Amino acid sequence: MKEINKIGEEYVEANIIESLSDLLLALALWKDGYTRNSVGKAFSAVKALLSAFVVTNEDKLVNLAKDDQEKKWIKEC
């Protein structure tokens, strides 16, 4: 079984690669005039990048929580 930190690192790496891939595809679609499709891909890229940031900074987010209930919610997500 893999260590949890290693799994987190692989998840972050995969999300960054996904984000870059979606962003490149969004730019290509935009250039070809497919604006609606490019916006969807751009949103997907931002979502993947934001997910990587959240996993990377989970401890900081937990420290910002107002109470134990919020801390528990952040850790479960």
pLDDT, one tens digit per residue, over 5-64 is 566 889 999 999 999 999 999 999 999 999 999 999 999 999 999 999 988 888 888 888
Cα dist from 58 to 29, 30, 42, 77, whole Å: 33, 34, 24, 10
Q: Kindly give, in sequence order, each residue whose CB lies less than 8 Å from that of residue 77, ignoring residues fewer than 6 positions away.
A: 54
Gap between the Cα atoms of 76 and 63, Å rounded:
15
What pTM value is reported for the model? 0.75
Phi then psi for residue 16, to 5 deg, are: -65, -40
